Amino acid sequence: MVRMNRGRLPLNINKAVKVRIYPTSREKELLNKTFGCCRLLWNQMLAERNNVYQQLKEDSEALRAHKYKTEKDYKQEFEFMTEVDSKALQSATRHLLEAFQN
C-alpha cells in the first residue's frame, strides 16, 4: 500500500502476517527432510560450479558451453531426494542460478 505524504514522496507501508505452526512429528520429519535436501542440492550444485570454474577459468568459451548437472541428475545420484517436494528443489536450483546472475 502506498500513501501520499502531503505532496511529498510516497510513503511505503509494508504489512506482514506472523503465523505460528504446530506440525505433527510426521510433518516435522518431512520439513527436516525437505530443508536438508534443498541444502544438499544447493551445496552440490555450488561445488560443481566452483570446480568447473577452477578448471575452465582460462577458457571462457568452454566455461560458457559447459553443461551442468540438473536436478534430475542429482535425484538419480541421491535417491532420497525423490521423497521431498520437487517444487522445493526447483526453488533451491532457481535461487542458486539467480545468485550467479547477480
The reported pLDDT for the residue numbered 97 is 92
Please indicate, yes or no, if residue 43 is contained in any of the structural domains.
Answer: yes
Residue 48 has pLDDT above 60, yes or no: yes
Nearest one of 48, 43, 93 to 66, comparing CA atoms: 48
Residue 2 has pLDDT above 60, yes or no: no
Please indicate, yes or no, if residue 9 is contained in any of the structural domains.
Answer: no
Rounded to two decimals, the pTM is 0.77
Cβ proximity of 60 and 53 under 8 Å? no
Please indicate, yes or no, if residue 19 is contained in any of the structural domains.
Answer: no
Q: What mean pLDDT is reported for the chain?
A: 90
Total domains in the chain come to 1
The reported pLDDT for the residue numbered 51 is 94
pLDDT digits (tens, 9 = 90+) for 68-78: 999 999 999 99
Q: How far apart are CA 7 and CA 86, in angstroms?
A: 48
Please indicate, yes or no, if residue 63 is contained in any of the structural domains.
Answer: yes
Parent domain of 47: 24-101
Residues 8-30, mean pLDDT to the nearest whole number: 90
Of residues 59 and 20, which shows the higher confidence score? 20
